[in-house]
Every structure is written in structure tokens, then in C-alpha cells.
Chain A
Amino acid sequence: EPEVTQTPSHQVTQMGQEVILRCVPISNHLYFYWYRQILGQKVEFLVSFYNNEISEKSEIFDDQFSVERPDGSNFTLKIRSTKLEDSAMYFCASSGTGDSQPQHFGDGTRLSIL
């Protein structure tokens, strides 16, 4: 069964540094998403992306965050200047069209900011 893959599985970064989290969505999916989960807390929506542009974003997704689909297969989340509170698991997801289509999630990238 096709799956969403994320790299790296764990990223350790100094505060203030830029970080790029990478995702390869399922190939025939059209919608792409990023979520984060701070340790022990709920999964929070960050952003959705369709047709090469952001279709929706949450309050968390401020100017420090950006997303990009640089080629036909990758979908990236960039945090420009990391803060301690950015430490979390970041999940990428993809789906087909329609709200009845479930989102398929990757295994996540654990981001640790020192």
C-alpha cells in the first residue's frame, strides 16, 4: 500500500537556525498538509496546500513558516528561525479530493530545538 514518507525521523537544531522538514506524499494525491503535535498534546493543523498554493492555514502558521512543493514529489515545511517552542512532532499528510477522503499520515519528524 502506498504511504507518505517523511525525512528525517529526528532533527536536532540550535535555536534561531532554519530547518526544512521533508515529505513525499502519496503520488496520486492532490492535497497536502502539515500538522504538529507537541509532546503529550493534541495534533494541531498547520497548513493545507493544493494546486501549488496554500489553501488554508492556522494561527500557528505565522511568517516563520513556509511550505513548498519544489518538484513533482516532495512537499517541504520550512521554519525560518526556530524557537524552543517549535519542538514537536511534525506530521505530513496527503489526501485525494473531497472531505470524505481520509488523510494519510507519515510517521512524523521529531524536531528538537536546543
Chain B
Amino acid sequence: GDSVTQMEGPVTLSEEAFLTINCTYTATGYPSLFWYVQYPGEGLQLLLKATKADDKGSNKGFEATYRKETTSFHLEKGSVQVSDSAVYFCALSLNTGGFKTIFGAGTRLFVKA
């Protein structure tokens, strides 16, 4: 079935370090791909999205490129900040009659000053 796999956390980095969170997906059909972020005690916020192969989504210094050949959508940021500490969820959305979103397990990021 359709699924999203992302790297297990927690990921601990020092401020200004480079971040990569890996995400791969399995889907029948052509999904849209998303990264959501969840700050402590809050809901899910859309971070970025890509709707077709080779699209690059970007926001707040984060980027991810839709790679159809490797079925991947890895999240990257060149220089993380303490305020980036959160849980990051990779997700796909498919038209299965209801456009449900399937989430990965989430990766917790800690950034130390």
C-alpha cells in the first residue's frame, strides 16, 4: 500500500550545521509531496510542497526536491537555528476519492546553541 518512510530520530545538531532528513515514499499513482512541521504543543504546519517530478519546494531556508526516479523527497537546510527544533513529517497526498494524506513517522530535530 501507499506509505512514507523517513529517517528515525532524534537528530541532534549544533546551530549553523547542515540538515538532511531523508524521506522515501511508495505510492500507486502520482502523489503530491509535503513536509509538515510540528512545534512543541502545536498542530501541524505546512513547511513546503512539490506536486510533480523535479519540482523543488522551499520555505524558510528549507528545501526538498521531488525525485520520481528514487521516490524520494529529502528535506535539507544549509544552516539550522535553535528555533528549528521541532518534529518534521514527510507526507504524500493522493486522490483516492478523498485526498487523504499519509504521514511518515516524524523525525524529531534538536538544535543546540
How near does chain A come to B66, taking the closest CB pair, in angstroms? 11
Contacts of B31 in A (CB 8 A): 99
Q: Check if B43 sits within 8 Å of A107, measured CB to CB.
A: yes
State which residues 82-114 of A face B: CB under 8 Å: 91, 93, 95, 98-108
Q: How large is the interface on B (under 10, 10 to 19, 20 to 34, 35 or more residues)?
A: 20 to 34
Stretch at the interface among B13-21, B45-53, B67-75, B77-85: B45-53
Q: Check if B98 sits within 8 Å of A91, measured CB to CB.
A: no
How near does chain B come to A105, taking the closest CB pair, in angstroms? 4
6 contacts between A and B (CB under 8 A): A54-B98, A55-B97, A55-B98, A102-B46, A105-B36, A105-B43
Given B42, B45, B98, B105, which contacts A56 in the complex, CB threshold below 8 Å? B98
Q: Check if B98 sits within 8 Å of A31, measured CB to CB.
A: yes
Asked if A65 is at the interface of the complex by the 8 Å CB criterion, the answer is no
Contacts of B11 in A (CB 8 A): none
Task: Determine which residue in B93, B100, B101 has the highest number of CB atoms from chain A within 10 A of its CB, and name it.
Answer: B100
Q: A55-B97, A99-B94, A102-B34 are in contact. Are A91 and B102 (CB under 8 A)?
A: no
Q: A91-B44, A107-B43, A108-B43 are in contact. Are A100 and B97 (CB under 8 A)?
A: no
